[in-house]
Structure 1
């Protein structure tokens, strides 16, 4: 039996419609429009695409979007000044620093991200927000893990007592993902580059989360029969043989490859993993749309939190 395809795009569309209604209500009732500011340093092509998606989604929702472009040779002081100005602007409710930064600034990424006020940190990366998540008192949760939890809930996946394996331990996805799963009473196993017998460990999973950034790394040998597989990876593949190994004859991927010379694939080798899975996310159209939707949800939540804090008693 073929696996159930976990349609993240459909769920994201439902979230977007809900947010659109709530933004309209907030504007009509309080005269406030949630505003998201994005600081983009340099001209990385992938980053430009992501920023355009965020701007477009803000416009669709009736939110305000502020784009703060800075040249690639900007020093850390200039970026700090831009973040400080946005922190002090009460009409800006969410701030994100688009990553990755140019190579010369890579070592400053954590310090610059931590400059964003926790209340405006809609990416959920600030240590205060991470700490609140760990303690079970979340305010703004990292968007990709939050989106995956919505996906699992909406798809009827019961986590209590199940074994969840998270492949990847980044601060952006892997670690917060594990915390969220643990809080839903799953038994969580983290895997990483030094995990021994990765295939054996992964096959223990009732729910397998792949977040390693390596195209097609997770194969059918990693997937237990009947597991739920969530593919977080978004990788551009330019080699035809590699693409065929990962997605087979998928028309959508080959149309993209013929048009652009590349196609987006996940961290999971679809050809071998999908036949073993009970349910699986596609790439694209799985986790990616939910990340954007949850970013908008965080922006709305940040706006409401700030209004509550400033409202007279």
Structure 2
């Protein structure tokens, strides 16, 4: 069994991005992170993204708003950021508080700055198969890991467990674009175990701790674990029961240390692309 670690993939991505930054001729792209409230997971992700951005020599600014801010006031403040010509990319930490109409914010975001694909225009472009669209970062991180490993998706049987707009559905579109044969599993899939076992590549993105066992995985299959959960002991784990599945799979990604390690770098890759497009 081989393990694909995110740090290796991130290192290769970082080397390419360093060249792309140099090609901007001295212009330094700016990322803006928008956070509403003090959710610990939002703060953690914000710190991680900002640290990565600054380490790459990029600009990063955070705008933090009170959790009780009204929808109207938030829209007004968000539009200032959205229309600022100095801002190349926006990372909106979600979910937003219930008093804010999140769908309206998604419709407002400038598609050219929507580097995490929360708006309908970029999502539509991903589903239309446009290769220069900003796909959701986690979905693209999965593709980067497969690309790094030299895995050709053409004709491969792929099963994705999970149908969210953040991972499952857009990832299916990205894989179809590489000529894979894709099946999406969900809570109403009739033969869940059999469908998973038929896959040459199995992607777990359902958000349920250790739901994928060795009986779901064919001998030698590639297993990509997107899940981030806490197990019964409070330890970080994925959607895959790693200790069981590693006995059967040919390749597995760990949690932590897998897809999540690549996701933030994909965001910064999109930021650099956005800056390049703006300068054109």
TM-score tier, shorter chain, comes to over 0.9
Q: Number of residue pairs matched?
A: 279
2:96 and 2:245 map into 1 onto residues whose CA distance is 34
Partners of 1:88 and 1:186 in 2: how far apart?
39
4+ runs of 1 displaced by more than 4 Å? none
Q: Does 1:57 align with 2:29?
A: no
Q: Aligned residue for 1:286? A: 258
1:105-120 → structure 2 map (5 Å cutoff): 105=100, 108-120=101-113
Q: RMSD of the alignment, in Å? A: 1.3
> Counterpart of 1:228?
222
1:164 corresponds to which residue?
158
Distance of 1:32 and 1:277 partners within structure 2: 45
Q: List aligned pairs for 1:21-170, cutoff 5 A.
A: 21-26=19-24, 29=25, 31-105=26-100, 108-138=101-131, 139-170=133-164
8 Å CA contact 1:97, 1:113 repeated in 2? no
Identify the residue that residue 179 of structure 2 maps to in structure 1: 185
Largest Rg, 1 or 2: 1
Give the C-alpha shift of residue 144 in structure 1: 1.0
Bigger helix share: 1
Q: Secondary structure at the match of 2:112?
A: helix
Say whether 1:269 aligns with 2:267.
no
| Partners of 1:80 and 1:123 in 2: CA distance | 19
Once the two structures are TM-superposed, the CA of residue 25 in structure 1 deviates from its matched residue by 4.1
Structure 1: segments with no counterpart, 5+ residues:
241-261, 309-313
Given the two structures, how large is their TM-score scaled by the length of structure 1?
0.86
TM-score (norm 2): 0.96
Q: Could you tell which deviates more after superposition, 95-104 or 42-51? A: 95-104
Q: SS of 1:200's equivalent?
A: helix
Give the equivalent residue in structure 2 for 1:12.
10
Q: Is contact 2:36–2:64 with CA below 8 Å preserved after alignment?
A: yes
Q: Which runs of no fewer than 5 residues in structure 2 stay unpaired? A: none
Q: In structure 1, what is the Cα distance between the partners aligned to 2:87 and 2:94?
A: 20
Q: CA deviation at 1:11?
A: 0.9
Give the secondary structure class of the aligned counterpart of 1:205: coil
Aligned 8 A contact 1:140 1:302 in 2: no
Matches of 2:208 and 2:176, distance apart in 1:
25
Q: Retained in 1: the 8 A contact 2:34–2:92?
A: yes
The equivalent of 2:192 in structure 1 is 198
Which position in structure 1 is the counterpart of 2:268? 296
Distance 1:172 1:114 in 2: 16
